[in-house]
A = this chain, B = another copy of it.
Amino acid sequence: MSKKAIVLLSGGLDSTTTLYYAKSKRYKCYALIFDYGQRHKKEIVQGVKVAKLAKVPYQIIKIKLPWKGSSLLDTHCALPVTRSLKEIGHGIPSTYVPARNTIFLSFALSYAEAIGAKAIFIGANAVDFSGYPDCRPDYYRAFQQVMKKGVKASSRACRQAGIQVKTPLIKMTKAQIIRLGLKLKAPLDITWSCYKGGRQPCGVCDSCQLREKGFSSVNPAKPSSANAKRPPSPRGRR
């Protein structure tokens, strides 16, 4: 019987690739999608589509944070002005949501314990990223310790194996992630990366720029998978 894994799924390029990666490693995947008051529901809609296409069960966790502290949660707060690709990753932009990944991982940990999953996959990336602190390797090493100490398996009386946090994309460039996604036949064309929820991606936010940078590095003329026969739009589409 294959091992169970929880996969955090945002409907974006990275988490979708991560889901297909976990599947390729023969994990029985359970997707967790969060409705945490983000500016738009588009990524949730796309996350559900991805989970259905991947044929994995999914749960949507609804969270209402009474505080804001992020331009991704607070519509009265403007999204940051466009940064150049060189600037992205330096400093922490206003789109940072306080402790978001810690909240997500804590729910994933609870789910993993409840169903006996052995791994939690998250598509965190510390190369082509916005500079968020909770995307860096040392953060995940720290969370691994919480997972080791704070669960049933940490009891001497318990013979269960511990739960591992897996960040397969953490050291990849966006182009490498896209290549991996294409190779794994992940439906990258339906993923949504833009911070805004318009009909079309804005093309200028950090997330859009990093996505475009990745796609422009990949040569779609030489598809490495069947998926690429339907060339994924660099900006993503519905």
Subset of 27 A-B contacts with CB under 8 Å: A61-B66, A62-B64, A65-B114, A67-B110, A67-B111, A67-B115, A69-B114, A69-B115, A90-B157, A91-B157, A92-B158, A96-B152, A98-B109, A98-B110, A99-B110, A99-B151, A100-B110, A102-B150, A133-B149, A133-B151, A136-B149, A139-B150, A142-B142, A142-B148, A143-B146, A145-B146, A146-B146
Q: Which of A91-140 contact B (CB under 8 A)?
A: 91-92, 96-103, 105-107, 109-115, 131, 133-134, 136, 138-139
Q: Which of A144-176 contact B (CB under 8 A)?
A: 145-146, 148-152, 154-155, 157-158
- List of B residues within 8 angstroms of A148 by Cβ: 142
Residue A68, interface by CB 8 Å: yes
Assuming A67-B110, A92-B152, A101-B150, what are 17 further A-B pairs, CB within 8 angstroms? A65-B110, A65-B114, A67-B115, A68-B114, A69-B110, A69-B113, A70-B114, A92-B158, A96-B152, A102-B106, A103-B110, A106-B106, A133-B155, A142-B145, A143-B146, A145-B145, A145-B146
Cα distance, A212 to B109, chains bound together (Å): 33
**Centre residue among A62, A69, A109 by max chain B CB count within 10 A:** A69
> Which residue of the partner chain B has the closest CB to A91?
B157
- List of B residues within 8 angstroms of A141 by Cβ: 149
- List of B residues within 8 angstroms of A142 by Cβ: 142, 145-146, 148-150
Shortest distance from the beta carbon of A139 to any chain B beta carbon, whole Å: 4
Given known contacts A96-B152, A103-B106, A150-B133, is B67 in contact with A114 (CB within 8 Å)?
yes
Residue A63, interface by CB 8 Å: yes
Residue A217, interface by CB 8 Å: no
